[in-house]
């Protein structure tokens, strides 16, 4: 059977999955599949010929098995190297379950989502030549360095060495010192070392060192840290090329030794984040606005760079926190690209509904902790409930409001986020906590209630299974089938408007907690001088003006509540109100303030606010020496062009320069030369 143009091969894994060929075929037909479904029983063994025939065909192949993916790939490589073969897991996700007989809509949706073609993410290259720094405290560091020296170019740095026996043969360089600062990544580490000194070759019973110095620097490709002290980097386990082990755990030391030995050569790493500085709301004119990405990056890959931020793709570990909390979409997660993830989400949830499923619960998980928990539940427990749809992502922390709004708009009853408990200890769940609270405020304001997003932080698969089976059914939002297109703000509002349209208790205005990325701006019109500094400072274009008249407007859907306008206002008359506005006024510019223009007394052109000019006249005319005379004060009431004209026309002003001197040119020299020759010629004739 072909699903979205791909030949789909389904196997019941030697009858361990109770798949009903008729029910599954009908579910796939409801999704637009073509042909007849044949369920295999031993596709990877006795029926391997069926796979070979499919691989030799013209259509791409999707095999509903991931356990034997290496074997299928090897067979395809031998028979047809050009064959396009993909894999998806329906066994642990649905077939090995206490509710497997009810899971045919879910299996059909999983197959449809797997048949999509997702563009790969861009990547960056890391190059390591094998220069390694081993940091330790005693002989163990030297022993480890000797072990690595056959594959790497190793140097040893000892922190505060005490009575360290000198090696019989000094086949690795040994220094003492303490790393004061470290930065970089695999292939490009830079360290600053204090108390730095090389070992003396004459050391006898214990290592002695030359006179030490501070602020030494060095570069290396790999750092192996067995000091047992605090790590050199935040979120050190995510820093490529930095390997750390407890010196009291010999097994851990050997693991990092084996890993270090393989870190030579060129490596590809996904470029997880795409950054668009044009829509970044970080800062304007040295006034800081949004710092969400800086506050939530665990690895220190993001730094302030003036009005924008700088994201180092070599340090970025792909947690996705920055993309999750970015209000404008300046930071976008692209592993895989957003368009592919959103289409996969849409296909999964709408396909589940079309195939006859109801009350879907979306289980978002990663390919490590989450996939392992799902596998263990399927093998040793009840497996996933039939209505729980697993959705694998690179990092659960990449999920943002655009994703959750779309998921609920596609009919998800709940969203469960399965995360490792270690992320809470590492401080990586702040973004998801904010997302949960923001969703609760929005959904509760529309009558859907709270608690539709659950964080599952259990490490025990049995506890995860109990949480999933313990979920009580509640009314799911009305499912839509729209395509979430455009930037992050556009995707968010598309989903939110659908939820508002079908809400149990639709409200035009929904109050939101402080720090939310939606809201309005209040302006005290009595104190506003219409200087329009807020318009110039607004990074998203939410503050509007009119070039032809003193007018201040506001586009609410563009406002991210960064606060730059409030901080910029010299009169302090701007305040913020976080809220969601579902009226048509939010989509267009509305008036915040309007003043009568003042017309130039010389040419009649409108150039300023009348109240401001009158106030300046009252304060300066006849009171300041520059405007003591009536004609001088009158210049205050002139536009910028007329002021210049009258200033130069005044015969008493020092700025009156008279007729400017014409610059001398080459033509002048040539003309004078000809005139001189003519004069000399006339004088010669006269003599």
Check if the beta carbon of residue 235 is closer than 8 Å to that of residue 317. yes
- The span from the CA of 354 to the CA of 135, in Å, is 59
Using 50, 70 and 90 to split pLDDT, how confident is the model at 653? low
Q: What is the mean pLDDT of residues 28-55?
A: 95
- The span from the CA of 553 to the CA of 593, in Å, is 7
The pLDDT value given to residue 654: 60
Q: What is the mean pLDDT of residues 201-226?
A: 96
Report strand pairing: 361-366 vs 287-288.
unpaired
Q: What is the pLDDT of residues 19-28, one digit of tens each?
A: 999 999 999 9
Say if residue 319's pLDDT is above 90: yes
Q: What is the pLDDT of residues 347-387, one digit of tens each?
A: 999 999 999 999 999 999 999 999 999 999 999 999 999 99
Residues of CATH 3.50.50.60 domain(s) within the chain?
Answer: 125-268
Q: What is the mean pLDDT of residues 407-426?
A: 94
What number of other Cβ atoms are within 10 A of residue 637's Cβ?
Answer: 20
What number of other Cβ atoms are within 10 A of residue 194's Cβ?
Answer: 14
- The span from the CA of 445 to the CA of 403, in Å, is 19
Query: Which stretches within 80-163 are classed as H helix?
Result: 104-114, 139-148
Helix axes 338-354, 488-501, angle to 10 degrees: 20
Check if the beta carbon of residue 139 is closer than 8 Å to that of residue 226. no
Query: Which stretches within 315-473 are classed as H helix?
Result: 321-325, 338-354, 369-380, 401-409, 422-425, 430-445, 461-469
Say if residue 517's pLDDT is above 60: yes
Say if residue 242's pLDDT is above 60: yes
Using 50, 70 and 90 to split pLDDT, how confident is the model at 207? very high
Check if the beta carbon of residue 529 is closer than 8 Å to that of residue 571. yes
Q: What is the pLDDT of residues 469-509, one digit of tens each?
A: 999 999 999 999 999 889 999 999 999 999 999 999 999 99
Helix axes 401-409, 488-501, angle to 10 degrees: 30
Say if residue 687's pLDDT is above 70: no
β-partners of residue 254 are none
| Alpha carbon separation from 685 to 265, 389, 671, 673, 676 (Å, rounded) | 92, 113, 21, 19, 14
Q: What is the pLDDT of residues 270-309, one digit of tens each?
A: 999 999 999 999 999 889 999 999 999 999 999 999 999 9
Residues of CATH 3.30.70.20 domain(s) within the chain?
Answer: 271-333
Share of the chain above pLDDT 90, in %: 83
Say if residue 656's pLDDT is above 70: no
Q: What is the pLDDT of residues 560-610, one digit of tens each?
A: 999 999 999 999 999 999 999 999 999 999 999 998 888 899 898 888 888
Say if residue 102's pLDDT is above 90: yes
Helix axes 69-79, 48-55, angle to 10 degrees: 50
Check if the beta carbon of residue 443 is closer than 8 Å to that of residue 449. yes
Residues of CATH 3.30.70.3270 domain(s) within the chain?
Answer: 519-594
- The span from the CA of 526 to the CA of 347, in Å, is 53
Does 519-594 carry CATH code 3.30.70.3270?
Answer: yes
Fold entry, domain 125-268: FAD/NAD(P)-binding domain (3.50.50)
Retrieve residue 324's tokens. 């999750």
- The span from the CA of 440 to the CA of 433, in Å, is 11
Report the alpha-carbon angle 336-327-390, nearest 5: 40
- The span from the CA of 149 to the CA of 268, in Å, is 25
Say if residue 32's pLDDT is above 60: yes
Q: What is the mean pLDDT of residues 532-536?
A: 94
Residue 604: burial class (beta carbons within 10 Å; 0-12, 13-18, 19+): exposed
Helix axes 401-409, 430-445, angle to 10 degrees: 40
Mean pLDDT, all residues of the chain: 94
Using 50, 70 and 90 to split pLDDT, how confident is the model at 640? confident
> Exposed e or buried b for every residue in 386-415, given b needs 16+ CB within 10 A?
bbbbbbbbbbbbbbbbbbbbbbbbbbbbbb
Q: What is the mean pLDDT of residues 629-638?
A: 85
Say if residue 544's pLDDT is above 70: yes
Q: What is the pLDDT of residues 132-182, one digit of tens each?
A: 999 999 999 999 999 999 999 999 999 999 999 999 999 999 999 999 999
Q: What is the mean pLDDT of residues 447-453?
A: 96
- The span from the CA of 128 to the CA of 146, in Å, is 19
Check if the beta carbon of residue 9 is closer than 8 Å to that of residue 44. no
Residue 552 φ/ψ, nearest 5 degrees: -120, 125
End-to-end CA distance of the chain: 117
Give the residue from 185, 165, 17 showing the smallest Cα distance to 96.
17
Give the residue from 503, 495, 500 showing the smallest Cα distance to 406.
495
The pLDDT value given to residue 660: 62
The pLDDT value given to residue 404: 98
Say if residue 268's pLDDT is above 80: yes
Does 271-333 carry CATH code 3.20.190.10?
Answer: no
The pLDDT value given to residue 495: 97
- The span from the CA of 390 to the CA of 94, in Å, is 9
Say if residue 651's pLDDT is above 80: no
β-partners of residue 416 are 363, 454
The pLDDT value given to residue 143: 96
| Sign of the CA dihedral with 69 first, then 70, 74, and 80 last | positive
Check if the beta carbon of residue 202 is closer than 8 Å to that of residue 208. yes
The pLDDT value given to residue 628: 83
* Residue that has been written with the tokens 């030369």 in this structure: 673
The pLDDT value given to residue 157: 97
Report strand pairing: 361-366 vs 388-393.
parallel
Using 50, 70 and 90 to split pLDDT, how confident is the model at 51? very high
Sheet holding 361-366, edge to edge: 388-393, 361-366, 414-418, 453-456
């Amino acid at each position: 059977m072909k699903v979205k143009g791909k030949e789909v091969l389904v196997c019941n894994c030697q009858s361990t999955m109770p798949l009903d060929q008729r029910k599954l075929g009908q579910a796939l037909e409801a999704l637009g599949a073509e042909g007849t479904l044949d369920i295999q029983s031993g596709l990877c063994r006795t029926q391997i010929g069926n796979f070979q025939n499919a691989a030799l065909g013209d259509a791409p192949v999707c095999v509903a098995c991931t356990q034997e993916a290496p074997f299928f790939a090897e067979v395809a490589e031998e028979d047809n190297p050009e064959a396009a073969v993909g894999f998806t897991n329906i066994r642990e996700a649905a077939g090995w379950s206490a509710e497997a007989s009810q899971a045919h809509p879910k299996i059909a949706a999983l197959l449809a989502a797997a048949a999509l073609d997702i563009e790969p993410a861009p990547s960056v290259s890391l190059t390591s030549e094998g220069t390694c720094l081993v940091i330790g405290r005693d002989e163990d560091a030297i022993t480890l360095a000797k072990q690595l020296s056959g594959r790497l170019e190793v140097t040893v740095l000892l922190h505060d060495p005490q009575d360290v026996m000198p090696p019989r043969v000094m086949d690795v360089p040994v220094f003492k010192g303490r790393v004061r600062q470290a930065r970089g990544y695999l292939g490009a580490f830079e360290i600053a070392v204090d108390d730095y000194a090389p070992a003396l070759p004459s050391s006898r019973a214990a290592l002695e060192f030359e006179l030490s110095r501070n602020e030494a620097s060095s570069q290396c490709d790999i750092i192996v840290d067995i000091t047992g002290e605090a790590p050199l980097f935040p979120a050190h386990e995510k820093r490529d090329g930095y390997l750390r082990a407890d010196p009291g755990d010999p097994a851990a030391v050997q693991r990092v030794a084996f890993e270090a030995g393989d870190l030579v050569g060129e490596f590809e790493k996904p470029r997880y984040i795409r950054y668009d500085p044009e829509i970044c709301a970080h800062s304007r004119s040295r006034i800081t606005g949004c710092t969400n990405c800086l506050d939530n990056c665990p690895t220190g890959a993001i730094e302030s760079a003036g009005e924008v931020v700088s994201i180092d793709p070599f340090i970025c570990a792909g947690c996705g926190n920055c993309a999750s909390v970015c209000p404008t979409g300046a930071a976008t997660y692209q592993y895989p690209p957003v368009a592919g993830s959103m289409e996969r989400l849409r296909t999964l949830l709408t396909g589940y509904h079309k195939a006859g499923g109801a009350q879907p619960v979306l289980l978002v998980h990663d390919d490590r902790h989450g996939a392992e928990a799902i596998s263990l539940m399927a093998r040793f427990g009840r497996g996933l409930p039939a209505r729980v749809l697993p959705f694998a992502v690179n990092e659960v922390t990449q999920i943002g409001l655009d994703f959750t709004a779309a998921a609920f708009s596609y009919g998800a009853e709940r969203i469960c986020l399965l995360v490792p408990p270690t992320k809470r200890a590492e401080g990586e769940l702040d973004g998801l906590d904010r997302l949960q609270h923001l969703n609760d405020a929005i959904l509760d304001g529309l009558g859907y209630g709270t608690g539709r997003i659950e964080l599952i932080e259990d490490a025990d698969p049995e506890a995860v299974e109990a949480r999933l089976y313990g979920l009580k059914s509640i009314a799911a939002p009305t499912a839509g089938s729209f395509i979430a297109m455009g930037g992050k703000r556009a995707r968010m509002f598309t989903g939110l408007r659908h939820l508002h349209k079908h809400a149990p208790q639709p409200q035009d205005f929904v109050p939101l907690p402080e720090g939310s990325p939606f809201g309005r701006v209040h302006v005290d019109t009595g104190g506003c001088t219409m200087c329009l500094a807020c318009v110039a400072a607004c990074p998203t274009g939410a503050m509007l003006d009119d070039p032809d008249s003193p007018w201040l407007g506001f586009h609410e859907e563009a406002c991210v509540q960064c606060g730059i306008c409030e901080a910029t206002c010299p009169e302090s008359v701007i305040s913020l109100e976080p809220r969601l506005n579902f009226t048509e006024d939010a989509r267009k510019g509305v008036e915040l303030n309007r003043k009568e223009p003042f017309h130039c007394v010389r040419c009649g052109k409108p150039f300023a606010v009348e109240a401001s000019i009158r106030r300046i006249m009252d304060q300066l005319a006849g009171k300041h020496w520059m405007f003591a005379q009536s004609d001088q004060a009158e210049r205050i009431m002139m536009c910028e062009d007329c002021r210049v004209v009258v200033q130069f026309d005044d015969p008493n002003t020092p700025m009156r320069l008279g007729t400017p001197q014409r610059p001398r040119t080459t033509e002048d020299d040539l003309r004078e030369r000809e005139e001189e020759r003519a004069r000399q010629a006339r004088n010669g004739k006269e003599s």
